[in-house]
Amino acid sequence: MGEKLEAELAEEKSSDIRNDGSIVGKSVVRVDAWDKVTGKAQYVDDIPFPGCWYGGTVRSNVPHGKIVKIERSPSFDWSKVIFVAAKDLPGPNEVAMVRRDMPILAKEIVNYVSEPIALIAAPTKALLKAALKAVKVEIEPLEPVLTIEEALSGENVIWGEDNVLAKFEVNKGDAEEAFNEADIIIEETYRTGHQEQLYLEPQGMVALPRDDGGVEVIGSLQCPYYVHSAMTHAFMLPPEKVVIKQAVTGGGFGGKEDFPSLLAIHAAILALKAKRPVKIIYDRAEDMVSTTKRHPSRIRHRTGVKKDGTIVAQDIDLVLDGGAYTTLSIVVLQRSLLHATGCYNIPNAHVSAKVVATNTPPNGAFRGFGAPQSIFAMERQMDKIARTLNLSPVEVRRKNLLRVGDTFPFGQAVEDEGPRLVFERALVISEYERKRAEYSRDRGPKRRGIGVSLFLHGGGFTGSGEQAIDGKVKLKLTSERVELYVSSVDMGQGAATVLTQITAQGLQIPFERVKYMSPDTSKTPDSGPTVASRTTMIVGKIVLRGAEKLIKRLKKYVSDSLDVPFEEVTYNKGFFQRNGVYVVDFLEAARSYEEKHGPLEVIGDYSHPAELYWDDDRCQGDAYQGYAWGANVLEVEVDMDTWEVRPLRDTVVVDVGTAINPLLAVGQVEGGSLQGLGYGYLEVIEVEGGKYKNDRLSNYIIPTSVDCPDFFVELTEIPCSKGAFGAKGLGEMPLSGGGPAVAAAIEHATGLFSNKLPITGEVLTALELKGDERRS
């Protein structure tokens, strides 16, 4: 790589700081950029481990059944490999997550197609393949539960007493009573399918046995401490004997939130038994058939409306398909429930929510975490109200928008005018009204359509979640730099860069003097998992508390060593001063401290805003510390003969609070919106007999550059007092806008109203056959 480029980059960076002394709000080049573009970055499969064996998995091929026999072919030489089944496990056969219902390996019963039954490690990939082929598992099939309806009927119970993994309910006012005041009641049932995270890098993990009987795991993951606690539980090891390190991670999107716990245990079991490193890297097909997906949903809306479009009452019945085990379904469901009424003020609301078990692979976290399903249903319902009352979708939304002081069904009051601001701005810059009229005049085989969606996302963990995590970070001051130790990972979203900016700004030192250290549980305190769009907003705030502490400690040192009263020393823009006179700068003080005492370490800790109230049992109160808002105006062209949909232009206005790094923020918005578009009209997973039929990129179609609309992204920045420098959680939110926007735009172009996602050609044809009329 050109040294010149690097020099230019360095210059660009420092000039960025010099501008007005602030690194927050500057689009500095991401700290991982050069390693990634030059290929220097090492993903787990790139790291050489001498003597490493390859691990693989024997899986179920039926959705539900009794394991009768695991047969190993006598013609294979089993002395050359390591074989492990459930009976050989060293500790409890449980993957410790929110619950412990998921086994490490199925023992007697299999509950989904692809469920792990046994593990094999071999010195070569070829031998591993041969060994996997030499295992036959005899399974006596049991009746499976494959759909939400079958699960709800309770006829065949596969989980607990009634197949219900979790349920919640919230009430505001009296919905049933208020329906009497409505001019019309509008009902619809919405459905969404699975969605695959499709991170570029598949799941991968390597485990290394340690001399002290412990084990180290290096892998592609989002939550080092989730993996750590699952490992200590499975191996009954003390915390210090388990070390988890994050390798450079090629995307997670929620898919590496819970699954890596299972994979790490698998690799470690083999490594401990083989007494050597063992690596398990899934190929795309294995990854697609066996790892978690977005929960399919069925959401029923019943809305009481006045003739002018004002909503007076709403009843929502929300059901998610959790798959065979709980994984994160309880919290996904909670988020679904809390986002169910979208950006609207519903004076009387009743929302009930359930997640049920089915004999399909466990569903888990995926960017949005339950919100995209809810928001799709709510936004479609707004369009349905408009269609039914012959009003414009914009007017119906405008009438019901949340304003400051309005409350969500769970009681939390809205604190800013974000919904109105992003909505009106998106309409203006997209020229929505003019285009709506123009596209309505399209005739002929190709017609354009324009649709709008509104969405929101609560940043950080739900309710008291952040208190429970009680995140901590470590700042280590050496003579040359400040090292930042957090368990929050960079998986492409830019956390390493953004946290570096926050640290530098908090300490008022140059960006280059801060080093984000890659997460390693033996060195890094637990700042919590990298999920819930919490890193910038919440972890950033913890980092700032650490920075404050570090400055205070250094100030104490300066005051002691110069024999100046502590109160007389101030710190500003990198300088310690006494009564306004320069004494020493930050780095000089750091060098001097290090020479005398060695590196200075401080821990930043979480402080919960005292005014927030949350009742977990009743799901009432301040569910989130701040809400980010968004509006998406999408324009598409639809081929009326082939139903081919081409996104043309996507205007997305989001309020993200303070944008710490605007370019990275825009990248999050474009990427998330595109993932949402894919969810809306392209990405199909067909399940047949509990088996995913789409297991590769040739039959699981995601948007490529050809399908990418021209993006026009604008950031509205309404600072949030709970986030670092006013930041709100942004990472997941944009995804929720894509699905409903594409549905609305396709409706405008074709005249066909789809109540489900994804809207494929088959769906549009079925709508016509059912009697929907295409636009004349």
Specify the residue, 426 or 757, whose C-beta has the smaller distance to ligand MOS.
Answer: 757
CA 320 – CA 374 distance, rounded (Å): 10
Per CB under 6 A, 367 contacts ligand MOS: yes
Per CB under 6 A, 503 contacts ligand MTE: no
User: Do residues 356 and 164 lie in contact, with contact meaning Cβ atoms separated by under 8 Å?
Assistant: yes
Q: Which amino acid is at 484?
A: L
To ligand MTE, the closest distance from the beta carbon of 222 in angstroms equals 7
Per CB under 6 A, 112 contacts ligand MOS: no
To ligand MTE, the closest distance from the beta carbon of 91 in angstroms equals 30
Specify the residue, 172 or 367, whose C-beta has the smaller distance to ligand MOS.
Answer: 367
Give the C-alpha distances (Å, rounded to integers) separating 692 from 197, 366, 695: 15, 17, 7
CA 271 – CA 120 distance, rounded (Å): 10
Residue 536: contacted member of ligand MOS, ligand MTE, none (CB under 5 to 8 Å, by partner type) = ligand MTE
Residue 489: contacted member of ligand MTE, ligand MOS, none (CB under 5 to 8 Å, by partner type) = none
Tokens 């998992």 — which residue?
529
- Near ligand MTE by CB under 6 A, which window of 35-43, 119-127, 249-257, 738-746? 249-257
Give the C-alpha distances (Å, rounded to integers) separating 541 from 13, 356, 548, 721: 23, 36, 11, 10
To ligand MOS, the closest distance from the beta carbon of 370 in angstroms equals 9
Per CB under 6 A, 500 contacts ligand MTE: no
Give the C-alpha distances (Å, rounded to integers) separating 602 from 484, 487, 507, 551: 10, 16, 13, 10
Closest C-alpha among 728, 707, 711 to residue 719: 728
Residue of minimal Cβ distance to ligand MTE: 731
Per CB under 6 A, 293 contacts ligand MOS: no
Per CB under 6 A, 366 contacts ligand MOS: yes
Closest C-alpha among 450, 505, 509 to residue 26: 505
Using CB under 6 A, which of 370, 492, 506, 657 touches ligand MTE? 492
To ligand MTE, the closest distance from the beta carbon of 534 in angstroms equals 5
Residue 331: contacted member of ligand MOS, ligand MTE, none (CB under 5 to 8 Å, by partner type) = none
Per CB under 6 A, 532 contacts ligand MTE: yes
DSSP code per residue over 286-345: HHHHHS--PPPEEEEEEEEE-TTS-EEEEEEEEEEEEESS-TTHHHHHHHHHHTTTTTB-
CA 736 – CA 717 distance, rounded (Å): 19
To ligand MOS, the closest distance from the beta carbon of 495 in angstroms equals 12
To ligand MTE, the closest distance from the beta carbon of 459 in angstroms equals 8
To ligand MOS, the closest distance from the beta carbon of 11 in angstroms equals 36
Per CB under 6 A, 740 contacts ligand MTE: no
Specify the residue, 16 or 490, whose C-beta has the smaller distance to ligand MOS.
Answer: 490
Residue 348: contacted member of ligand MOS, ligand MTE, none (CB under 5 to 8 Å, by partner type) = none
To ligand MTE, the closest distance from the beta carbon of 200 in angstroms equals 9
Closest C-alpha among 680, 682, 672, 626 to residue 652: 672
* Residue 376 host element (H or E): helix 371-389
Specify the residue, 364 or 451, whose C-beta has the smaller distance to ligand MTE.
Answer: 364
Extended strands (E) in 154-277: 164-172, 184-192, 204-209, 215-219, 242-246
Buried b (16+ CB within 10 A) or exposed e, 202-237: bbbbbbbbeeeebbbbbbbbbbbbbbbbbbbbbbeb
User: Do residues 293 and 313 lie in contact, with contact meaning Cβ atoms separated by under 8 Å?
Assistant: no
Look at residue 554 and give its three-state secondary structure. helix
- Near ligand MOS by CB under 6 A, which window of 5-13, 363-371, 510-518, 684-692? 363-371
Q: Count residues near ligand MOS (CB under 6 A).
A: 10
Per CB under 6 A, 638 contacts ligand MOS: no
Tokens 């930042």 — which residue?
484
Peptide bond into 758 cis (omega under 30): yes
At residue 76, what are phi and psi to the nearest 5 degrees?
-95, 140
CA 79 – CA 377 distance, rounded (Å): 56
Interacting residues of 429 by C-beta distance below 8 A, sequence separation 6+: 651, 653, 712, 714
| CA terminus-to-terminus distance, the chain | 58
Using CB under 6 A, which of 495, 660, 666, 763 touches ligand MTE? 495
Specify the residue, 56 or 460, whose C-beta has the smaller distance to ligand MOS.
Answer: 460
- Near ligand MOS by CB under 6 A, which window of 123-131, 211-219, 364-372, 555-563? 364-372
To ligand MTE, the closest distance from the beta carbon of 736 in angstroms equals 12
Angle made by CA atoms 86, 90, 94, in degrees to the nearest 5: 60
To ligand MTE, the closest distance from the beta carbon of 133 in angstroms equals 34
Per CB under 6 A, 531 contacts ligand MTE: yes
Per CB under 6 A, 196 contacts ligand MOS: no
SS3 content of the chain, % helix, strand, coil (to 5): 35, 25, 40
Per CB under 6 A, 85 contacts ligand MTE: no
Residue 272: contacted member of ligand MOS, ligand MTE, none (CB under 5 to 8 Å, by partner type) = none
To ligand MTE, the closest distance from the beta carbon of 218 in angstroms equals 18
Per CB under 6 A, 659 contacts ligand MTE: no
To ligand MOS, the closest distance from the beta carbon of 662 in angstroms equals 22
At residue 380, what are phi and psi to the nearest 5 degrees?
-65, -40
To ligand MOS, the closest distance from the beta carbon of 533 in angstroms equals 7
Using CB under 6 A, which of 23, 343, 365, 509 touches ligand MOS? 365
Per CB under 6 A, 227 contacts ligand MOS: no
For 460: left if phi > 0, alpha if psi spans -120 to 50, otherwise beta; the answer is left
Which is it for strands 297-305 and 184-192: parallel, antiparallel or unpaired? antiparallel
Per CB under 6 A, 199 contacts ligand MOS: no
342-371 residues near ligand MTE, rule: CB under 6 A: 367
662-691 residues near ligand MTE, rule: CB under 6 A: 668, 671
700-739 residues near ligand MOS, rule: CB under 6 A: 732
At residue 433, what are phi and psi to the nearest 5 degrees?
-65, -45
- Near ligand MTE by CB under 6 A, which window of 230-238, 252-260, 298-306, 620-628? 252-260
Q: Which residues bind ligand MOS (CB under 6 A)?
A: 222, 254, 257, 365-367, 369, 531-532, 732
Give the binding site for ligand MTE (CB under 6 A): 251-254, 367, 491-493, 495, 530-536, 668, 671, 731-732
